[in-house]
Amino acid sequence: MVESRDALAIAREAVAIGAGMLESARPGVVRLKGDRDYVTELDLEIERTVQAYLAAATPEFGFLEEETAGHRAGSEYRWVLDPIDGTSNFVHGIPLCASP
């Protein structure tokens, strides 16, 4: 089992991975998933990349993912992934967004 201090280090690395991807990329294909709720190609790419990293680092953890609506239950602990918080801002070129 992953110790809490190790989980924090793993979470920080996941944030660095997602932030690095957000920092150097464009949205790609943009789709509406609600009235004013967007999902971008980059959202999906960040979610896949960060999820793969976390799954390898903490295979005993579950997931709840915003964009793919994926989840892996049956675990005491769960990562909650929102690949780009502020996707609407990101799509419109407003630099008030974060990942993951």
Dump pLDDT digits (tens) for 18-53.
999 988 788 889 888 877 788 899 999 999 999 999
Structure tokens at 18: 């997602």
Res. 74: pLDDT tops 80: no
Looking at the chain, the number of H-run helices and the number of E-run strands are 3, 5
Residues 23 and 79: their CA atoms lie apart, in Å, by: 22
